Amino acid sequence: MNATIKTLGLAAAVTLAAAPAMAQEKLKVGLLLTLSGPSAVLGQHARDGFQLAMKDLGGKLGGRDVEVIVVDDELKPDVAVTKVKGLIERDKVDFVVGPIFSNVAVATHKPIVDSKTFYISVNAGPSNLAGKSCNPYFFATSYQNDQNHEVLGKVAQDRGYKKVYLLAPNYQAGKDALAGFKRHYKGEIVEESYTPLNTLDFQSELAKIASMQPDAIFTFMPGGMGVNLVKQYRAAGLADRIPFLSAFTVDETNLPAQQDAAIGMLSGSNWAPNMDTPENKKFVAAYEAAYNTVPASYAMHSYDAALLIDAALKATGGKTDNKDAVRTAIQKAEFKSLRGDFKFGANGFPVQDFYLVKAAKRPDGKLQTEIAEKVFDNYTDAYAKECAPTN
């Protein structure tokens, strides 16, 4: 078996294992992830989750040896498009796996699906790609962007919060986040604030929150943005007075830097490291042993993406030339997801459960999110009805 990982623009190629080559051509998978800048840790979790799956699968997907080519999109849509064209035209990849950010997903969607290359998102789930712009070559092992945020909207509504302050970065996922929250929250929005992407100083927003005194705030601030916001929110003395609700702001990518400032903060998710399934327990233990950190959902979704490709290609006998057969096999999702229940809707997005999770410190001193309660069961995203699956 022979699985090769290439990292373009980062480091030299890494060979996981070596053995005599098979007659069949290697399957090629391109990992398109954010691996530099303040949000690099998100892409690192996704990369590491996929590589761990490759190790656990013996370096093969659907019985075929694999070459994994890792590229850094730099969180720049134009850079991502150039690198995607390289993956498709030069490297002739069979699958593109990624990205993390929705602006990258939207920019790269057309060149990938137009080439009839399968695009499997391990995080980004912009609303348009779930609805009117859905495509039979695009699938997500994560969620539609709105859904984790909907968890907090329902929780805020159920807890009777009358006034909420909303805060997100000014790009598609930020807009989807606040739209998701408002889908179930019917109280007063005292402020809907959008900050430039990669904002790290939130003092003006915190001053507004302190003066407005809402019943809670809801925010979506991934990566380094979330680290700074949580620390500044706690330092401003707001955490003990105004509940902090979020998604992708307090998670395993940020908790090592946020530390005690994040403890007790609530988030929405489709998974948590303490999820009680045999597959998940094995994954979390293996990930921690390999990378010395608690995995985030980005790692879980990437691991599942490898399992999905493996299951689909087993169904096609390892063949990728018949695109319809591959698509049908992907749509069936005949693998055991680390999160438990999982199936694809007609738009290529998962139908799955969602939870309220809380940041907590484990007995070993490491921080993780832990499931507090299930909020949505077997939940389909709001945009699936707009998708014509034959696009």
Locus of tokens 């949580």: 230
**Nearby residues of 237 by Cβ (< 8 Å), 6 or more positions away:** none
For residue 384, being part of any structural domain is answered with no
- pLDDT, residue 172, reads 87
pLDDT more than 90, % of the chain: 90
Do 265 and 280 lie in one domain? The reply is no
Which amino acid, one-letter code, is at 61? Answer: L
pLDDT at residue 10 above 90? no
**Same structural domain, 99 and 187:** no
Show which of 219, 252, 269 is a domain's final residue.
Answer: 269
Q: What is the mean pLDDT of the chain?
A: 93
Indicate whether 180 and 84 sit together in one domain.
no
What is the per-residue pLDDT across 26-50, written as a single tens digit (0 to 9) for each?
A: 999 999 999 999 889 999 999 999 9
Q: Is the pLDDT of residue 56 over 50?
A: yes
**Could you tell me the pTM of the whole model?**
0.92
Angle at 203 between CA 197 and CA 206, to 5 degrees: 100
At how many degrees (to 10) do helices 278-291 and 297-315 cross? Answer: 120
Structural domain harbouring 217: 146-269
Q: Write down the residue that tokens 């992830």 correspond to.
A: 33
Q: 138 with 7, same domain?
A: yes
Band of the pLDDT at 15, cuts 50, 70, 90? very low
State both tokens at 337. 């997801």
Distance CA 296, CA 344 (A): 22
Residue 380 lies in a domain: no
Q: 337: which residues sit within 8 A by CB, 6+ positions away?
A: 141, 279, 304, 307
- In DSSP notation, 256-269 reads HHHGGGGTT-EEEE
DSSP 184-252: H--SEEEEEEEE-TT----HHHHHHHHHH--SEEEE---HHHHHHHHHHHHHTT-TTTS-EEESSSSST
**What stretch of H or E contains 357?**
strand 350-361
pLDDT at residue 95 above 90? yes
The pLDDT of residue 39: 87
pLDDT at 331 over 90: yes
The arithmetic mean of pLDDT across residues 65-83, rounded, is 98
Domain count, the chain: 2
- Together in a domain, 234 and 333: no
The three-class DSSP label of residue 94 is: coil
Q: Are residues 183 and 226 in the same domain?
A: yes
Neighbouring C-beta atoms of residue 23, cutoff 10 Å: 4
Of 162, 247, 177, 250, the C-alpha closest to 213 is 162
Structure confidence at residue 24 (pLDDT)? 74
- The string of pLDDT tens digits covering residues 203-243 is 999 999 999 999 999 999 998 999 999 999 999 999 999 99
User: Is residue 390 included in any domain, yes or no?
Assistant: no
Mean pLDDT, residues 266-288 taken together: 97
Instruction: Tell me the average pLDDT across 269-274.
Output: 98
Residues 11 and 115 in one domain: yes
Please count the other Cβ atoms lying within 10 Å of the Cβ belonging to residue 390: 7
Structure tokens at 224: 């380094």
150 and 132 in one domain? no
Q: Kindly state whether residues 261 and 331 are assigned to the same domain.
A: no
Does the pLDDT at position 19 exceed 70?
no
Last residue of a domain, one of 238, 269, 300: 269
The answer to whether position 362 is within a domain reads: no
Mean pLDDT of 142-167: 97
352: three-class secondary structure by DSSP: strand
- Indicate if 138 and 225 belong to the same structural domain: no
User: CA 306: distance to chain centroid?
Assistant: 14
- The whole-number pLDDT of residue 388 equals 85
* Residue 242 covered by a domain: yes
In the predicted structure, residue 20 carries a pLDDT above the cut 70: no
Question: Is 88's pLDDT higher than 80?
Answer: yes
Task: Report how far residue 142's alpha carbon sits from residue 62's, in angstroms, rounded to the nearest whole number.
Answer: 21
Q: Helices marked H in 3-117 — which ranges?
A: 40-56, 77-85, 102-114
pLDDT at 18 over 90: no
Residue 161 domain-assigned (yes or no): yes
Flag whether 206 is in a domain: yes
pLDDT reading at 347 higher than 50:
yes
Report the 10 Å Cβ neighbour count for 10.
12
Residue 95 and residue 161 in one domain? no
Distance CA(219)–CA(40), nearest Å, equals: 20
Q: Which two tokens stand for residue 118?
A: 């399968």
Is residue 236 located within the same domain as residue 303? no
CB-count burial class (<10 Å; 0-12, 13-18, 19+) for 314: middle
376 located within any domain: no
Domain boundary residue, one of 239, 269, 299: 269
Phi, psi for residue 182 in degrees, rounded to 5: -70, -15
In this structure, of 35-39, 104-108, 257-261, the range with the lowest mean pLDDT score is 35-39
Q: Once rounded to an integer, what is the mean pLDDT over residues 68-95?
A: 98
Residue 265: pLDDT over 80? yes
CATH of the domain at 194: 3.40.50.2300
Partners of 370 in beta bridges: 358
- Rounded distance between C-alpha atoms, residue 223 and residue 282, angstroms: 26
Phi and psi at 130, nearest 5°, equal -90, -20
